[in-house]
Amino acid sequence: MNATPQSTAPHVAIIGGGPAGLMAAEVLAQGGVRVELFDAMPSVGRKFLLAGVGGMNITHSEAKTAFIARYGERQAEVAKLLQDFDADALRAWIHGLGIDTFVGTSGRVFPSDMKAAPLLRAWLRRLRELGVTLHTRSRWLGWNDDGSLRITSVDGERALAADACLLALGGGSWARLGSDGAWVPLLQAKGIEVATLKPSNCGFEVAGWSQYLREKFAGAPLKNVALALPDQPGRIGEFVLTAGGIEGSLVYAFSAEIRRAIETDGQAVIHLDLLPQMPLAKLQQALAKPRGKHSMAKHLHRQAGLDRVKAALLRELAPAETFADPAALAPWIKALPITLLRTRPLDEAISSAGGVPFAALDDGLMLKALPGVFCAGEMLDWEAPTGGYLLTACFASGRVAAQGMLNWLQGSVKKR
């Protein structure tokens, strides 16, 4: 419990009630700071709760080196955030809330009941006990001329003077849950360069599927397939055909690379191995067997185990003449090219890339150009695939920013 008298404690404002903001609030309150947290939504943690629908994947159990590599171009910066609060520390913190966790067969870590709501309830109970004040339906509008924060709510606009401020406003996806990117022009008006927000962990569009594929197989999953980009190792998983393209966990794992290829070349070509466990020579041998009166789809299923969805996609994309030549068809099954032209809209993406560059921040995540203003969470310029990596970095960045705020506040007191 906070031992510092509230009347004399430093006062901080946190804008944003997602994992980064809530984690910062906990660390700050434990450090003796008076914390007010503001969120524009009717309740906090709304995107966090949505992420738990179907199973709350909180983090991942893989080795630290592999874990850090998931952050791609920003792995060096994110590694610093995770230095004192990695996946193991996050699990221990969850256990401290009275929530058990387990490791699934894929290595992903889940709460024992697979739900986000009990974890959030326990966390909010702790924050209230620490004295954190939560303000919902309260939107940040920027700064007044005197440096105070502009906060609007159902009671009107107020000017809030705080000793320090943390911005933890999320990225630009899922605006209906609060991550609307409205903070971008507010920072730009203060001279902060912000990398353009782009879809990450998103679906992609093709030039257009045939009417048959759209009507019969939109929403159908392709399971146990391998996806690869040119000159990159492939990965086995599953994804879903959509009316206009593809989406799903295997696609999300490559979303950064696919998006960059589209930005550079106007398109991205991925290659799909529909039967990753069957070597090419064995597949050619199987397909060379007489099919008699069976249709080609039936023959592909009987001899190679190709299901209806995979067979339909193969028929969609492979040259028609190859279906008369098993030796020629087999290589298409092992490396079926799909040309992707664009991402789905940002607001449909699970997360976003872009945001506040790390170069604009010090080691405590304070904006160099705005002393006393800190940033954390998905509004920073990094991205990661699904699998618990997004949440882990958000939690960790909230802790780093909170410690940075405590250090800065202590230095500010000494200067007075």
- Cα-based distances in Å from 236 to 64, 261, 385, 390: 21, 21, 15, 21
The average pLDDT across 123-136 equals 97
Strand ranges of the sheet holding 34-38, from the earlier edge strand across to the other edge: 133-135, 34-38, 11-15, 164-167, 373-375
pLDDT grade for 4, boundaries at 50, 70 and 90: very low
pLDDT grade for 415, boundaries at 50, 70 and 90: low
User: What pLDDT is stored for residue 82 in this prediction?
Assistant: 97
Q: Where are the domains of the chain?
A: 11-199+353-415, 204-343
CA distance 409 to 337: 56
What region, left, alpha or beta, does residue 148 occupy, with left being phi > 0 and alpha being psi -120 to 50 degrees? beta
* 1: pLDDT strictly greater than 50: no
* 5: pLDDT strictly greater than 60: no
> How much of the chain, in percent, has pLDDT values that exceed 90?
83
**337/232: higher pLDDT:** 337
Q: What angle do CA 25, 30, 33 make, to 5 degrees?
A: 70
User: What pLDDT is stored for residue 297 in this prediction?
Assistant: 79
- CATH homologous superfamily of 11-199+353-415 equals FAD/NAD(P)-binding domain (3.50.50.60)
Pick from 267, 404, 235: which is nearest to 338 by CA? 267
CA distance 353 to 345: 13
The average pLDDT across 286-304 equals 83
**299/365: higher pLDDT:** 365
Joined tokens for residue 243: 């009316």
The label of the residue with tokens 């664009």 reads 342
Q: Which amino acid is at 74?
A: R
User: What pLDDT is stored for residue 327 in this prediction?
Assistant: 84
* 346: pLDDT strictly greater than 60: yes
Joined tokens for residue 206: 């093709």
192-246: pLDDT as tens digits? 999 999 999 999 999 999 999 999 999 999 999 999 998 888 899 999 999 999 9
Joined tokens for residue 51: 């992420």
| Lowest-confidence segment of 20-34, 344-358, 401-415 by average pLDDT | 401-415
Pick from 103, 100, 104: which is nearest to 119 by CA? 100
φ, ψ for residue 24, nearest 5 deg: -60, -40
Within its chain, how far is the Cα of 164 from the centroid? 27
Q: What angle do CA 363, 367, 368 make, to 5 degrees?
A: 85
Tell me, what DSSP letter sits at residue 289?
Answer: S
